Amino acid sequence: MEKYGTTLTIKMVSALHSQFQLTCPMNQAKDMSTIHIIDDDDAVRNSLSILLNQEGYKTREFPSAIEFLNAYNDDPGCIVSDIEMPDMTGIELQKTLKKHCIDTPIIFITGHGNISMSVDAIKSGAIDFPEKPFVNTDLFKSIDSALAIDSKTREIKSSQQIIQCRCEMLTPREKQILIMLTKDHAKLTNQAIADQLGISKRTVEVHRSSVMSKMHAQTRAELVELHRFCNLD
């Protein structure tokens, strides 16, 4: 899974969502998402699955973190996992996911947690760390938060993919113009670009207009932001 170094601005993501209808309402996200329950205790795992099913959540059960990883397919959803499990603990699972840039939200449930363990888990990106016995409504709220985070993350990645598709529509000359329009803090004028490329200012203006149109950028500042997500190799 590709890892992105920067984040799209809220304004730009909202604009892309509007154009391509990427935003997913919470109830729809719930219907489309799967709660992956990981616990080596069959009774706990099955009872939790039944509880969540009764609340309208779709679930999948795994008796170990390793079995979850073997079956992983990047479906929308989140993970509800025990901490202490044989072969691979919940914390080790979290580290493995992070190592492979898998950002599926994770909620840990434990009957023997401690402050140090919970702090480490939260710092590493866990959504919540409820201890058994937990309050059902609190767990539902944590799961809804996790699904909302997962949905937003996927929307941003979809937006990044859209931007890359737009970049790939550019001609080689347009890619040159894009790079020059956005480098050095976007200070180069059309005439300066023309001089460096050995073409007329009018030709630069034509290419610039085409770049702005293909990239769906209204301003040069927007073009600079979009260029950060373009792989022009």
Q: What is the CATH number of the domain that holds 212?
A: 1.10.10.10
Domain range for 157 is: 25-163
What is the spatial order of strands in the sheet that 77-82 belongs to?
58-62, 34-38, 77-82, 106-109
152 lies in a domain? Answer: yes
CB 107 within 8 A of CB 125: no
Is 177:203 a contact under the CB 8 Å cutoff? no
Length of the chain: 233
> Does residue 220 or residue 3 have the better pLDDT?
220
The answer to whether residues 89 and 115 touch, using CB atoms and an 8 Å cutoff, is no
- pLDDT score for 129: 80
Count CA atoms within 13 Å of residue 88 on its CB side.
17
- Give the other-Cβ count within 10 Å of 110's Cβ: 19
Query: Does residue 18 lie within any of the structural domains?
Result: no
Does pLDDT of 106 surpass 90? yes
Question: Cα separations (Å) of 58 from 5, 32, 51, 55?
Answer: 32, 8, 11, 9
Query: In the prediction, which pLDDT does 6 show?
Result: 43
Instruction: State how far the Cα of 179 lies from the Cα of 141, in Å rounded to an integer.
Output: 45
Q: How confident is the model at residue 174 (pLDDT cuts 50, 70, 90)?
A: very high
Q: Could you tell me if 159 and 175 lie in one domain?
A: no
Q: In the listed set 163, 184, 219, which residue is the last one of a domain according to the structure?
A: 163
Is residue 17 situated within a structural domain? no
Is residue 114 in some structural domain? yes
Residue that is last in its domain, among 116, 133, 163:
163
Position 14 in a domain: no
Instruction: Using the 3D structure, point to which of 120, 143, 163 is the last residue of a domain.
Output: 163
Average pLDDT over residues 42-60: 96
End-to-end CA distance of the chain: 19
- 182 shares its domain with 153: no
**Inside any domain, residue 4:** no
How far is residue 7's CA from residue 121's CA, in Å, rounded to a whole number?
23
Per-residue pLDDT band for 134 (boundaries 50, 70, 90) equals confident
Of 8-12, 47-51, 69-73, 132-136, the least confident: 8-12
State residue 20's pLDDT score: 43
User: Which residue, 225, 212, 140, is CA-closest to 182?
Assistant: 225
Residue 127: predicted pLDDT: 85
pLDDT at site 123? 72
Q: Quote the pLDDT of residue 4.
A: 34
pLDDT at residue 169, as a whole number = 94
113 and 31 co-located in one domain: yes
Q: Is the pLDDT of residue 18 over 70?
A: no
Mean pLDDT for the stretch of residues 51-75:
96
Whether 8 maps to a domain, the answer reads no
In a domain, 69, yes or no: yes
**CATH code for the domain of 62:** 3.40.50.2300
Shared domain check, 178 and 152: no
